[in-house]
Structure 1
Amino acid sequence: MSVKRRSFAALVAVAVTVPLGVSAVPAEAHSQKRVVGYYTQWSGYDRNFLVSDLVKNGTAAKLTQLNYAFGFLDASGNCVSSDPWADYQRPFTAEQSVSGKADEAGQPLAGNLNQLKQLKQKFPKLRISISLGGWTGSKYFSDAALTPASRAAHVKSCLDMWLKGNLPGAPAGAAKGIFDGVDLDWEWPASEGNPGNVIRPEDKQNFTALVHEYRKQLDRASWPFRGRYNLTAFLPAAPEQIDNGFQVKQLFRDLTFGTTQGYDYHGSWDPITNQQSAIDAPKGDPSSEEFSSQVTIDAYLSRGAPRNQLVMGVPFYSRGWTGVTNQNNGLFQPATGPAPATYEAGYEDYRLLKAKAGDFTVHRDNKAGFAWLFDGTTFWTWDDPVEMKRKAQYISKRHLGGAMIWSLDGDTGNGELISALHRNLH
């Protein structure tokens, strides 16, 4: 497999809370394209991108769904917090909070979850899902999905923790009502992911059964209302991984929608430079296997996915190489390794790379639909507002279900990427 997968995820559930006896509007009863964004648990550390920044830069008003990434599974298949401090213990000052009020000592809930609770109060139409797994959190999915008993116990554990809000060390129900659903980001059933992940050939069928168990328990939890919890999944780009681990037609009978990986087609794990999120395959690509959004979307459609339930992923970050041969404007050239970057070599948030973009020349392949930066030595993929507009127009032209963003902390202080995406989705 030549496509590496990082912790980028899919999507999920919507709960509707109404007085007993009142019929709820279905959660998916909206006419606009979905705009789904991942807010990462760790955004508030080095990046200092807080939930309140989603309000300040205009993002929250443009989202239909927010996925909070990630919850993990333990060796028993139970749902656990991978960072309790970030999730529900960290206090926020008045200046940091969505509400403008400081957290108080001893309050039942703090951390990102309390900030998400405040965000929902400010934007009541916004649906928020807990995303489970990711690149580093998928180790035990195969065990959890193995048998009817293990599946039932796993789903019960996750709904108890994240939907009913029963967090360890917190008052019962402290986080109830924050999450409207569950997003499954198993990377990947029956295919290699992060080293050490448990993998079985039967993961493919077991994932279908796991999704069905989620659907069954979520529907039971939403009774007697018509509005159902959303259940979503993050789906890989590579056709080989699709066929190894996903019964596409069966899955979409239970999923509200699925988000496709629209990035990491190439990166610094490859010895030569390339695109990471092209709409179509570029001319002259030396790769032995073609990766593009067109290939991915066509793969799901041909395997039975309804197009209005396919949400195409877009990156708010870049992949980069350095030591690049100065030919062909740096494209398809040998490199010595990943480009130096702020948080992870070869990976840079758009907002940070934009500040350095003046040192580079922008190149675009308007036919294949991608762009890159090159300065004679360093090469960065480049998804700017021009490319976001292009991707939104592609999604609209193909009548897909919307766009998914990894990840929201990569945008600028005025939200220029999500603005370009949002205004061109029709």
Structure 2
Amino acid sequence: MSIPRTAARAAAVAAALLLPAALLAPPAAAEDAPRTGAVTAAHAETSRWPTGYQAEITVTNPTDAPLDDWSVSFELPEGAEVHEMWDATLERDGSGYTATPPSWGAEVPAGGSYTFGYNGVFSGGATEPVSCTVNGAPCDGGGAEDAYRQVGYFTQWGADDKDFLVKSLETTGQAERLTHLNYAFANLDEDGRCFATDAEGQGEALSDYGRAYTAEESVSGTADDPGQPLRGSFNQLRQLKEIHPDLKVSIAIGGWAWSDYFSNAALPENREAAVASCIDMFIKGNLPELNGAGGEGAAEGVFDGIDLDWEWPGSEGEPGNVVREEDKENFTALVREFRTQLDELGEQTGEDYTLTSFMPASTAALDAGYELPELMESFDFINVQGYDFTGSWSTSTGHQSNVRVPEGDPAEQPRSYETVVQAYLDRGAAPEDIVMGVPFYGRGWQGVEPGPDGDGLWQESDGAAPGPRDPGYNDYNVLAGYAEDGGFELFRDDHAGTAWLYDGDQWWTYDDATAIAQKTAWARDAGLSGAMVWSLDGDDADGTLFRALDGELNGA
């Protein structure tokens, strides 16, 4: 997929948004519309007076299923405001509005439409929305191929450890802004096959599809039946996709802790069966029966693709991983096998399954394990690690995620977004292949002296600062409290696109909304196809960081 440069894209989006409402989604054509395609929403001014106007918004549903839970979000031009809305529930967020069904309900029938309206005021002449989405997709039903990718990782342990449920993606506003969601992680056995278990350190099947959610915890507001075949986060993902049908959900396989046997999966004698096992389990949804859940087709339709997180082919990664000299060539073959089997299934189902990969920031790991030109023939895109440039494994403080090499960086080979992306381009990736990773967490040290500038940067430490899950690791939502009232001073390097906190002892490199916007702006201006987040549960309850990311990419 080719992503247009910023200026061209902005002009195209503006042109689409300013088309007359009748050209975007004509309500009169609803009865004749084919019963496939995207749900649309059309805005039309119906009357005007010197200081105000009246408008209608028509939601059209061309599918074969009724739509009883819809959401239309829009932003009006400067000077225009909604005064009063009828036949819909209205919420305002800054300059934007979101309309949802009224308290008595408003189903959009299959092949039909539903209209609601409002009275507005204006000080200028324009009243047409400058942006509009319905269920997170463009209101005109198009534009998906031109949109920036906004990818986020959802951690399976977040539900229990952080009380970050799939429902949290809705309440934070992240879900309506995501284009791709990666569920982390699935594990591989010694033969390289996907499997499910509740064995400590090997799997979390109960969280994945066994836990019965209460109505309060559920995306839909309906409690799970303890005997239903799909429960847990997987069922919640299914409910989330009913609200956001254009959201693509992939199962992420491996990760730092579960890449032990990727090398075995990639062996010639194993790879066909290994790939088939993962597709059978997650894409076809044939889950092992555990905790009274699972079975043939139980999770069918939950996942739209596979994200390969082998950390790292040809390099050790976590101690204990199987590593072979031939990993580099075998990974290319494994990826090709995934692409082949996904495409063959797609020919049967009519679906277009996504295949992506999480890729390292280390040039040494890149050279040891990846044949980029060959790989990009099979991948839809790659998520490039834009963080962990340093951490408490280093004795001195530094930036873990910087756009440019900062002045005074003492590293022999300092890294930045610029150096990492250039390494990928030099090895055969195109800018539109790359989605750049940003962190929703920080890394910290303690026992840090102020140094010559009094800010603790580049100074020796006594080791990792304490963290609630791992030493030297803290989510943004925790560090934001440090910045507000924890006795820490906030410092920035706008050229490097970094921020850090220091209280005279602890020192944390982290990203707030300003730093995330700086990173995302760089990715956009570099012609990359979007931004990726590790991990969504690090954001705050208002989705502050993801809103900053989306705002920089899409002007929202």
Bin of the TM-score, shorter chain as denominator length:
over 0.9
Structure 2 distance, partners of 1:166, 1:260, is 31
Query: Post-superposition shift, 1:284?
Result: 1.1
Q: Tell me the amino acid that sits aligned with residue 297 of structure 1.
A: V
Structure 2 distance, partners of 1:98, 1:34, is 24
**1:397 matches 2:525:** yes
**1:333 matches 2:459:** yes
Q: Tell me the amino acid that sits aligned with residue 98 of structure 1.
A: V
2:278 alignment partner in structure 1: 158
TM-score, normalization by structure 2: 0.71
Tell me which stretches of 4 or more aligned residues in structure 1 moved more than 2 Å: 27-30, 224-228
Say which SS state the counterpart of residue 386 (structure 1) adopts: helix
Query: Post-superposition shift, 1:226?
Result: 6.6
Structure 2 distance, partners of 1:321, 1:77, is 37
TM-score, normalization by structure 1: 0.92
Structure 2 distance, partners of 1:341, 1:194, is 20
1:3 alignment partner in structure 2: none
Higher strand share goes to which structure? 2
Match of 2:239 among 118, 121, 143: 118
1:60 alignment partner in structure 2: 175
Structure 2 distance, partners of 1:171, 1:282, is 53
Query: Post-superposition shift, 1:281?
Result: 1.0
Equivalent residue runs for 1:51-130 within 5 Å: 51-81=166-196, 82-130=203-251
2:359 alignment partner in structure 1: 235
Match of 1:324 among 444, 448, 453: 448
- Cα deviation digits, residues 119-168 of structure 1 (max 9, x gap): 11111010000000000100000011011x31101000000000111111
Q: Tell me the amino acid that sits aligned with residue 257 of structure 2.
A: T
Match of 2:429 among 305, 328, 334: 305
Equivalent residue runs for 1:187-336 within 5 Å: 187-223=311-347, 227-327=351-451, 328=453, 329-336=455-462
**% identical aligned pairs:** 49
Which segment is superposed worse, 322-331 or 57-66? 322-331
Structure 1 distance, partners of 2:364, 2:304, is 32
Structure 1 distance, partners of 2:297, 2:369, is 35
Query: Post-superposition shift, 1:369?
Result: 1.6
**1:407 matches 2:535:** yes
Which segment is superposed worse, 273-282 or 284-293? 284-293
- Cα deviation digits, residues 217-240 of structure 1 (max 9, x gap): 000000057752110000000111
| Equivalences, count | 403
| 242 and 372 in structure 1: CA distance in 2 versus 1, 3 angstrom threshold | same
Q: Tell me the amino acid that sits aligned with residue 143 of structure 1.
A: N
Structure 2 distance, partners of 1:31, 1:126, is 15
Structure 1 distance, partners of 2:489, 2:510, is 11
- Cα deviation digits, residues 203-222 of structure 1 (max 9, x gap): 00100010000000000000
1:22 alignment partner in structure 2: none
Match of 1:375 among 499, 503, 506: 503
Say which SS state the counterpart of residue 175 (structure 1) adopts: coil
**1:31 matches 2:157:** no
Q: Which has the higher contact order (CA 8 A, sep 6+)?
A: 1
**1:346 matches 2:461:** no
| 28 and 87 in structure 1: CA distance in 2 versus 1, 3 angstrom threshold | farther
Say which SS state the counterpart of residue 352 (structure 1) adopts: helix
- Cα deviation digits, residues 71-103 of structure 1 (max 9, x gap): 000012110132110110011110101000111
Structure 1 distance, partners of 2:430, 2:338, is 20
Q: Tell me the amino acid that sits aligned with residue 332 of structure 1.
A: W
- Cα deviation digits, residues 339-375 of structure 1 (max 9, x gap): 1122211100101111121321111111122111111
Structure 1 distance, partners of 2:423, 2:207, is 37
Structure 2 distance, partners of 1:45, 1:225, is 35
Query: Post-superposition shift, 1:171?
Result: 2.4
Which segment is superposed worse, 313-322 or 28-37? 28-37
Query: Post-superposition shift, 1:192?
Result: 1.6
1:180 alignment partner in structure 2: 304
Say which SS state the counterpart of residue 425 (structure 1) adopts: helix
Q: Tell me the amino acid that sits aligned with residue 353 of structure 1.
A: L
**1:355 matches 2:489:** no
Unaligned runs of 5+ in 1: 1-15, 20-26
Structure with the greater alpha carbon radius of gyration: 2
Structure 2 distance, partners of 1:397, 1:28, is 20
Structure 2 distance, partners of 1:228, 1:262, is 28
- Calculate the aligned-residue CA RMSD, in Å: 1.7
Structure 1 distance, partners of 2:499, 2:479, is 14
Q: Tell me the amino acid that sits aligned with residue 66 of structure 1.
A: L
Structure 1 distance, partners of 2:391, 2:247, is 33
Structure 1 distance, partners of 2:225, 2:303, is 23
Unaligned runs of 5+ in 2: 1-36, 38-62, 65-141, 197-202
Structure 1 distance, partners of 2:281, 2:314, is 27
1:5 alignment partner in structure 2: none
2:130 alignment partner in structure 1: none
Say which SS state the counterpart of residue 223 (structure 1) adopts: helix
Structure 1 distance, partners of 2:295, 2:351, is 28
Structure 1 distance, partners of 2:364, 2:222, is 50
2:22 alignment partner in structure 1: none
- Cα deviation digits, residues 154-210 of structure 1 (max 9, x gap): 000000000111111122100011000000000000012011000011100100010
Query: Post-superposition shift, 1:30?
Result: 2.2
Structure 2 distance, partners of 1:28, 1:195, is 44
| 227 and 166 in structure 1: CA distance in 2 versus 1, 3 angstrom threshold | closer
